[in-house]
Amino acid sequence: MSETSLSLDEIYALAHDAMTANGCNDANAGALADIVMRAERDGSHSHGLFRVPGYVKALRSGKVDGKATPTVTKKTPAIIHVDGHGCFAPLAQAAGLPVLAEATAEIGVAALSLTGIHHFAALWPETEFLADRGLVGIACTAYMPMVAPSGTREKLFGTNPISFAWPRPGKTPVCYDMATAAMAMGDVQIAARDGKTVPLGTGLDAEGNETTDPAKIAAGVLLPFGGYKGSAIALMVELLAAGLTGEQFSYEAKQTDNGDGGPPRGGEMVIGLSPALIAGDGWESHVEAFMDRMTAIDGVRIPGARRHQNRLDTGPRAINSTLVETIRGLI
């Protein structure tokens, strides 16, 4: 597999140029390119440049408005709503997250619902934004049907990721961002592209048979992680990201999507909590004593540690050459 070396600035510029060449204004292109660059920086390849062709498809089909300006409304002091008016999610998040952080720090608990957005990126930027400000962050979003509820073979849930971040003042936060599917579809697609297999239990082929062939799973159905437990969490995400925001459930997103290959319209829920206000004085030392006990166990790795370690390397990244040329061809 041929690879091309790109600096972080070059990754940002490649994504930004692809967006502006296909109808994005600078605000939308910049917000999206920043998320793409940060994903590649942190080693989250399935949410980096790999997503750009899908973003472009959504722009070219007219499904996404690359010039939309999100509007922020405070329904109550602790309930914030952002209407993206058809934009990609990063710009709507950039508009709403500072308001959510301020409300959380003042009140202790606050919620941000985002609607009218097209989410195709990682979730950890939202929760880390809160953790970097001493707050706890929880975020989730639904997608289109790709995952069968436990015990079935029929697609109903999206991959339905959920992210959680806990602040550790003076240290990198605890932060995870995971699909409730056994594997994110982007990772399945990359495995298929690179000629690799995936673990048994990731999904089924179109006939409902277990397989380790990612191409057959992409044409079939993903399974939830952990059987009925992951299925229950996927259901929770549907209810939070669609039921609680008033946006589309995954099956509804499929019904209204134009099938261009880009992200469908959907919703996102982000919840902030203040440990300083809820737990009170001493919360940091109390938590750090627990973290010290946990990390003393041989083999333990803190969620997010690998991503933060990757972040320390500011050098160029090796990107699939075919992908780079594909994106350049879109400009």
Taking CA atoms, 209 is separated from 85, 187, 230, 298, in Å, by 41, 20, 20, 38
Q: Over 80: is that where the pLDDT of 1 sits?
A: no
Question: Residue 329 has which token pair?
Answer: 């061809």
Q: Over 90: is that where the pLDDT of 120 sits?
A: no
Q: Which of 70, 65, 128 is nearest to 94 (CA)?
A: 70
Residues assigned a catalytic role: 46-47, 187
Average pLDDT over residues 230-241: 97
Q: What is the pLDDT of residues 36-81, one digit of tens each?
A: 999 999 999 989 999 999 999 999 999 999 999 999 999 999 999 9
Average pLDDT over residues 109-116: 98
Q: How many CB atoms neighbour CB 244 within 10 A?
A: 15
Q: Which of 66, 28, 246 is nearest to 142 (CA)?
A: 246
Q: What is the pLDDT of residues 236-280, one digit of tens each?
A: 999 999 999 999 999 999 999 999 989 999 999 999 999 999 999
Q: Which amino acid is at 9?
A: D
pTM for this entry: 0.94
Which domains does the chain show, CATH number per domain? 3-181+224-281+305-328 (3.30.1370.60)
Question: What span, in angstroms and rounded, lies between the C-alpha atoms of 12 and 6?
Answer: 10
Rounded mean pLDDT of the chain?
96
Q: What is the pLDDT of residues 146-179, one digit of tens each?
A: 999 999 999 999 999 999 999 999 999 999 999 9
**Residue that has been written with the tokens 């959380």 in this structure:** 104
Average pLDDT over residues 310-314: 94
